[in-house]
Amino acid sequence: MGARVTDQADGLRRLLGQAPVRVVAVAGMGPGAGATTAAMSLGAALAQQGREVLLLDEHHPKLRSACDVWALGPRGTLRDVADRRLRIDQVAAGALCGVQVLPAPSGVAVDPRTLWPRGIVLVDAAFDDEGHLSPLAQGADELLLVLQPHPSAITSAYAGIKRLHRAHALKQLRFLLNGVADVATAQQVMHNLAQAASRYLALSLLPVGWVRADPWLADAARLRQTVVEAFPASAAAVDFRAIADDMGRWSWRTPARPAVFPQALAA
């Protein structure tokens, strides 16, 4: 039934001229990469554009999760919505910037496009013990990896990218460099990494940009806000908004929805 509902929803959106719901999973390649900060900041930037944004928090209830940073108390989780105990509007918590946040426990394999009628869904993705993606992240339209720019982090990230490529048969990934001190160096790192992935993995690794190192990020965190909300003129906020602006022009890959969300094929 779920597959038919999704097809009907897609058809209705085409009829009404609405853009389809997009799902972007954001994952950090290594400790301290800043993926949660990136997911929250991109969500805030997209909300400022007038987009309706749902952020699925796979790190809840850990410290520094999106729910923790924004001091939100959702009244349920994605499992409650998937099991039809509660509606998404009954359980999601709204951040001041306009992003709706919902904890997403591991093992919940529901297509969020069937729950969120318009706009964009961001998955703040957590890896399992084997370093694999959750069903939610696997079924996303795009996987956006967050990397630190220093050499040891890039080496570790490349090994992680190779692991993801082999585990999930991914053909296209996107990535951003976070905490960049020198833009020219960052551009060269992005070029080299994309070239290596293409040559040795036959993988399309697409850079989406960089976020500069910025002391205002720490100040924003102390205020329980993103830098986009608290300090919109800061370098990091400008960079996050530039990436969010460009997301509307991405050439989206085809997600593996039927394999990832098997319950969508049930009668």
Task: Determine the Cα–Cα distance for residues 166 and 163; give it in Å rounded to an integer.
Answer: 5
Question: Which pLDDT does position 184 carry in this prediction?
Answer: 97
Task: Return the pLDDT at 4.
Answer: 44
- Residue 1 maps to a domain: no
The verdict on residue 140 lying in a domain is yes
**At which residue do the structure tokens 């972007």 appear?**
24
The pair of three-digit structure tokens given for residue 182, joined into one six-digit string: 């020198």
By the 8 A CB rule, do 69 and 115 touch?
no
**CATH code of the domain containing 236:** 3.40.50.300
Does residue 48 lie within any of the structural domains? yes
Residue 6 lies in a domain: no
Domain range for 214: 22-248
For the chain, how many structural domains are there in total? 1
Residue 178 lies in a domain: yes
pTM for this entry: 0.90
| Residue 43 lies inside a defined structural domain of this protein | yes
Q: Give the per-residue pLDDT at 109.
A: 85
Specify if 2 maps to a domain: no
**81 half-sphere exposure, CB direction, 13 A CA radius:** 25
53 phi and psi, to 5 degrees? -120, 130
Digitized pLDDT (tens) for each residue of the chain, 267 residues in all: 444 444 544 544 444 446 789 999 999 999 999 999 999 999 999 999 999 999 999 999 999 999 999 999 999 999 999 999 999 999 999 999 999 999 999 989 899 999 998 899 999 999 999 999 999 999 999 999 999 999 999 999 999 999 999 999 999 999 999 999 999 999 999 999 999 999 999 999 999 999 999 999 999 999 999 999 999 999 999 999 999 999 989 987 765 444 565 544 343
Helices (H), 73-114: 78-82, 88-91
* Residue 5 placed within a domain: no
